Copies of this chain bind each other. A is one copy, B any other.
Amino acid sequence: MTSITGKTRLFGILADPIQHVQVPRRLNDHFAAAGFDGVMVPMHVRPDNLPAVVAALRGMENLGGVVVTAPHKTAVLALCDDASDVTRKIGAANVIRREPDGRLVATMLDGEGFVGGLRAEDRGVEGASAYMAGAGGAANAIAFALAGAGVARLTVANRTRARAEDLRQRILALHPGADVRVGTDDPSGHDLVVNATSLGMREGDALPLDVSRLRPEQLVCEVIMQPRETPLLLAARERGCAVHYGAPMLAAQLALMAEFLGVGKA
């Protein structure tokens, strides 16, 4: 990284917990490779304090923007001034750009990142059937991206079933012909099995789905990057499944994040 001066453009990542985040290192490497005078720093913000912190970002003139991760992806959207139509339909955001006048513009890149990460490892999703656990911010983005990428069938399972049903309805509003179902914790009968919850990030978390139903022909996918080997992936491998780690989802987003944040522009 280059030395930080008064001219260095500032970026942050909002998260709780914060210690595991990998975006600062990855994006700072990206800045250095691009010869861009910017720095991304961790900002540990609890949910109660999110509104005050986001409001204050408008008043930091040298802030280029922030990346937003768990548990703030859904809550942050309403605190921003603008977002694309798809981002509003997803109902969550993971990157916010600060315009020169202080306005905050949100977008959601997790879905593109997840599908891009699969493609980067030659895992196509078109025509596949997909099971997804979760209905939070990242899950919403991934569900819309899977539907947009042409999965044959998508099953959404969530502890609070109403949130899965709500997600289903919003996808159908955008993709009227899609086969979207609300499921249980049983992932049987799907080519792809995706954990899009944060279960597995903290020690002692419950498993996000019933691993006893996993079959060797299924590809089990994580969105969690830290720890790399979640209990779900360990159980999946024990049952003979191929696994897809959380890291490619971020790797596929870095260039998109940098572009959205205006990195490299004068």
Residues of A within 8 A of B (CB): 1, 3-8, 10, 13, 15-22, 24-25, 28, 39-46, 48-50, 52-53, 55-63
Contact = CB atoms under 8 A, between A and B. Distances in A.
A41 B31 CA distance: 15
Contact of A41 (B8, B13, B56): B8
B6 A40 contact: no
A62 B46 contact: no
Contacts of A22: 5-6
A42 B4 contact: yes
Tell me which of A17, A41, A52 has the highest count of chain B C-beta atoms within 10 A of its own C-beta.
A41
B61 A46 contact: yes
Copies of this protein in the complex: 2
Contact of A28 (B4, B25, B44): B4
Contacts of A60: 43-45, 49, 53
A50 B43 CA distance: 18
22 contacts: A4-B25, A5-B21, A5-B22, A6-B13, A6-B18, A6-B20, A7-B42, A10-B41, A10-B42, A10-B43, A18-B62, A39-B41, A43-B60, A44-B62, A45-B59, A45-B60, A46-B59, A49-B56, A52-B55, A52-B59, A53-B60, A55-B56
Contacts of A25: 3-5
A60 B52 CA distance: 10
Contacts of A19: 5-7
Contacts of A59: 45-46, 48-50, 52-53
A48 B13 CA distance: 25
A28 B3 contact: yes
Contacts of A44: 60-62
A15 B62 CA distance: 11
Contacts of A40: 4
The 10 A-B residue pairs with the shortest CB-CB distance, nearest first, are A49-B59, A56-B56, A6-B21, A44-B61, A44-B62, A6-B19, A4-B24, A53-B56, A6-B18, A52-B56
Given A4-B25, A4-B39, A44-B60, 16 more contacts: A3-B25, A5-B25, A5-B42, A6-B21, A7-B42, A10-B42, A42-B62, A43-B62, A44-B61, A46-B61, A48-B59, A49-B60, A52-B56, A52-B59, A53-B60, A55-B56
